[in-house]
Amino acid sequence: MHDGVPRTRTVVIVLAIVALLVMWQSVTAVWGGAEVRQGARQARHTFLDANIRAYRVEFATSCFCFNTHVRVTVVDGDIVRVERMKLGDWDDPFPDQVLATTHTLPKEDRWLERYLVFPRVFGTIAAQSDADVIDADFDGPFGTPTEFFVNPKRSTFDDEFSASWLDFEVLNR
């Protein structure tokens, strides 16, 4: 009878530690999502206040199933030029080598518009704020995002997605 008490106490302590770790992980995701949602809202206001009609931005994605690297020119909310860029590597993540130029995204890449056309981008980022892990950084002068990472479900293998925006250039206000 005396031998069972320490074992029971150990089990209770281990379960309490596991419960605390689970709660800690959940709180982190909630706070991260709220911060990203608020950051996207503030960045959207900053972008709209800048009254930018035309811009050029370089954009790259990374995920398990594909990577893409483009430079786009957007005028009044429409993509008018797409430069398909060479994919980067560890030494040069954003090589300045144009592989092809078109006036629109290919049909299979139209989903990228939600990450390329401002202010739509801010809603796309904020809409994912309920993910298990999410992080986003926004640029001060115009509010444009610079980095975005989302892992919708930690328990799912290879569903992570990251995006980078580089060299945002205002062409017309």
Tell me the C-alpha distance between 71 and 81, whole Å: 8
CA-CA distances (angstroms) from residue 61 to 1, 8, 88, 114, 171?
A: 61, 50, 10, 13, 24
* Number of domains the chain is built from: 1
Residue-range definition of the domain harbouring residue 82: 4-172
pLDDT tens digits, one per residue of 133-172: 889 999 878 999 999 988 877 776 667 888 999 999 999 8
pLDDT tens digits, one per residue of 113-126: 999 999 999 999 99
Q: What is the CATH number of the domain that holds 34?
A: 2.50.20
Tokens of 167: 């060299």
Task: For residue 100, give the nearest of 114, 84, 89, 111 by alpha carbon.
Answer: 84
Q: What is the pLDDT of residue 21?
A: 54
pLDDT tens digits, one per residue of 70-115: 999 999 999 999 998 888 776 777 778 888 889 998 898 888 899 9
Beta strands in 64-124 (DSSP E): 67-75, 78-85, 98-102
